[in-house]
Structure 1
Amino acid sequence: MNSSLLLGLHAHTWIHAGSGEKDGVVDLPIQREAHTGWPVIFGSSLKGAMRSQISRTKGAQAELSLVTLFGPDSLHAGATSDKIHAGALLVSDARLLWLPVRSLTSHTRYVTCPALLCRLLADLKRAGQPQSLAVPKVGELEALIAGDQTGRIYLEEYAFTASAESTLTPWGALLARFCDLNAEQILNQLTLIHDDQFAHLCQAAIPVHPHIAIDYETKSVRDGALWYEEALPPDTLFYSLLLLTDARDGSGLGAAALKNQATQTLLGNAPYLQVGGNESTGMGWLQLTQFEHREA
């Protein structure tokens, strides 16, 4: 029988999980869902980062976890080896919960939309952790907030009419279980906008950073060494569903035991994961938080 583990991934630094394909003037765009345009970290990138982190951990237990959870390195095991088997860990895409967007009228806003919240509820139900929360409806040029602010809210250069919405309060408590922020901190900045407006911000509000390479001899920019790179800002919040099956390596370990092993190995004393490019310049660090089930 499978066992599931739901993780929140809260960005503490800039994140560049690249798509590997140029998009217009952006040489190195981030990964996006093809059908929605929302930022995402694909399961293959996330699983690779997890494997890399565990592989750097010393000790026999870490080595056993590596092979059991991820399978052996087939390049070294040999294509015909009977030791090749699939790992017991299944990793979903890291799906977006909110996108930090700068505001001209207040501090950074944690912006989300009804479609994201509906998908979260569906994923929680699929993980066996259903929540009975209502998803608020929002007008096309409206921004729902938990506070009593009225008037206009500016997200980037786009103006929205602010409306207080009391049904956001339980959402603050739920989202707090995916990160290291408390419900009050989240509700101070949480902003719900229309799906169409959110889709536009997912294209227009993602920061693009220019990069250059210096010629060491002349100390000037190398010819043609200018490129533009997208990166998600700190405080972006994702979640990912991990599924554990019974071990396939002949060890006899069940899914429940492997869930405990994965939890200890990934969360342990340092629940951080480096994902994507530019690790040497401090990018890509996510804090992992295990979602604990309780009825909302």
Structure 2
Amino acid sequence: MKNKKMYYIHCLSPLHVGTGQGVGVVDMPIIRERITEWPFVPGSSIKGVHREYFASKQSEQWLEAAFGTSPNEAGNAGSLVLSDSKLLAFPVASGYGTFAYVTCPLAIKRMIRDAAAVGFPIPDVNLHQWEQVLKNRNEADDESAFITSSSVLACKEYIYLDEFKCKKEQDASAALDTWVDWLSGQLFSDEMSQRIFTERFVLVSDDAFQYFVTMCCEIMTRIRISSDAKIVESGALWTEEYLPVESILYGTIWCDKIHSSSEAITAQSLMKALSGESSLQIGGNISVGKGRVRCRYIEEDC
């Protein structure tokens, strides 16, 4: 497929893309995939914030060609296709190194498959070999985790992630280091952020990752104060769920058909605008600083 890119989202503040009123312990839960229970950001939300971002940077004709006309107007659909943002790495508190960027074989497999669907190459990785080691340890009731050679997370032979004590594993062939270095270059443009990522990268089993993403999201309690009495108003106490700071998601963008009569607007010109990095705000509670993200667009030859 021509005219395609990967995009990566790095959360700079807690992110809440909700589903409305919850029926469980959390009043305002975040949206999750039905089958995996992993948090994600719908493509409609990604498209909406991009339209708002480009509203002051591009012409109305460009906006309508890229993102479509208003629902109240007769017109066309958008030419740019923005997929859902799926979870790649989840931040977890660590006994050493403060926190870890945790991922699992299934999350990496899904990224490779999604990238391949639009013809975006992902470097080969010894995923089956690492997955087998994690599986064997798990069957022996001894959770383990792969880290890089430059990791700051280990204390002697163990890594402490939330409630998990994981046996340290390292790839003797250095294939993991090579792949994580490549991934850090995709996610971050500056050396400091790349180093932070490689030093805190952890590959755990799918089951351990499932626990982290379902049990370790951020829960905030909110109240509303009466402007007159300066006390909490009756019933104005609720909880909200957030995807934590440092979460990393990915998605794909492509343009295979132009919905515009203007010859000046081409697929290449639309995709060219999505380059470098954008600072966006996604989801709810943006007036209190939530939802700040850095969105990075990667072309095939990067």
Could you say which TM-score interval applies, normalised by the shorter chain? Answer: 0.7 to 0.9
SS in structure 1 at match of 2:126: coil
**Shift in alpha-carbon separation, 1:24–1:203, aligned structure 2, 3 A:** same
Map of 1:1-296 to 2, 5 A cutoff? 2-55=2-55, 57=56, 61-75=58-72, 77=73, 81=74, 84-130=75-121, 131-135=123-127, 136-137=130-131, 138-139=134-135, 140=138, 141-147=143-149, 149=154, 150-165=156-171, 166-176=174-184, 177-180=186-189, 182=191, 183-252=194-263, 253-260=265-272, 262-263=273-274, 267=276, 271-294=278-301
The answer to whether the Cα contact below 8 Å between 2:7 and 2:296 also exists between their aligned partners in 1 is yes
Uncovered stretches (5+) of structure 2, i.e. residues with no partner: none
The answer to whether the Cα contact below 8 Å between 1:172 and 1:184 also exists between their aligned partners in 2 is no
Whole-angstrom distance in 2 between the partners of 1:4 and 1:63:
23
Deviations 1:248-281, CA, capped at 9 Å, x for gaps? 1212333223212x326xx5xx721110011111
TM-score (norm 2): 0.86
Greater shift in the superposed pair: 250-259 or 92-101: 250-259
The answer to whether the Cα contact below 8 Å between 1:208 and 1:231 also exists between their aligned partners in 2 is yes
**Shift in alpha-carbon separation, 1:2–1:291, aligned structure 2, 3 A:** closer
**Shift in alpha-carbon separation, 1:229–1:92, aligned structure 2, 3 A:** same
Whole-angstrom distance in 2 between the partners of 1:206 and 1:96:
13
**Shift in alpha-carbon separation, 1:54–1:257, aligned structure 2, 3 A:** closer
Whole-angstrom distance in 2 between the partners of 1:114 and 1:64:
43
The answer to whether the Cα contact below 8 Å between 1:179 and 1:287 also exists between their aligned partners in 2 is no
Whole-angstrom distance in 1 between the partners of 2:15 and 2:126:
31
> What is the deviation of 1:54?
2.0
**Shift in alpha-carbon separation, 1:132–1:103, aligned structure 2, 3 A:** same
Greater shift in the superposed pair: 140-149 or 108-117: 140-149
Supply the AA of the counterpart residue of 1:146.
T
Aligned length: 281
**Shift in alpha-carbon separation, 1:181–1:100, aligned structure 2, 3 A:** farther
Q: CA RMSD in A?
A: 2.0
**Shift in alpha-carbon separation, 1:123–1:174, aligned structure 2, 3 A:** farther
> What is the deviation of 1:86?
0.8
> What is the deviation of 1:294?
4.4
The answer to whether the Cα contact below 8 Å between 2:96 and 2:160 also exists between their aligned partners in 1 is yes
SS in structure 2 at match of 1:271: strand
TM-score (norm 1): 0.88
Whole-angstrom distance in 2 between the partners of 1:24 and 1:121:
34
Uncovered stretches (5+) of structure 1, i.e. residues with no partner: none
Identity rate, percent: 31
SS in structure 2 at match of 1:234: coil
Deviations 1:106-157, CA, capped at 9 Å, x for gaps? 3200000000111111122223222222212223311111137442222112
Deviations 1:68-97, CA, capped at 9 Å, x for gaps? 11111131x2xxx4xx11110111001111
Whole-angstrom distance in 1 between the partners of 2:284 and 2:236:
18
SS in structure 2 at match of 1:245: coil
Greater shift in the superposed pair: 205-214 or 103-112: 103-112
Please list every run of at least 4 consecutive aligned residues from structure 1 whose deviation after the TM superposition is greater than 6 angstroms: none
Whole-angstrom distance in 2 between the partners of 1:105 and 1:218:
45
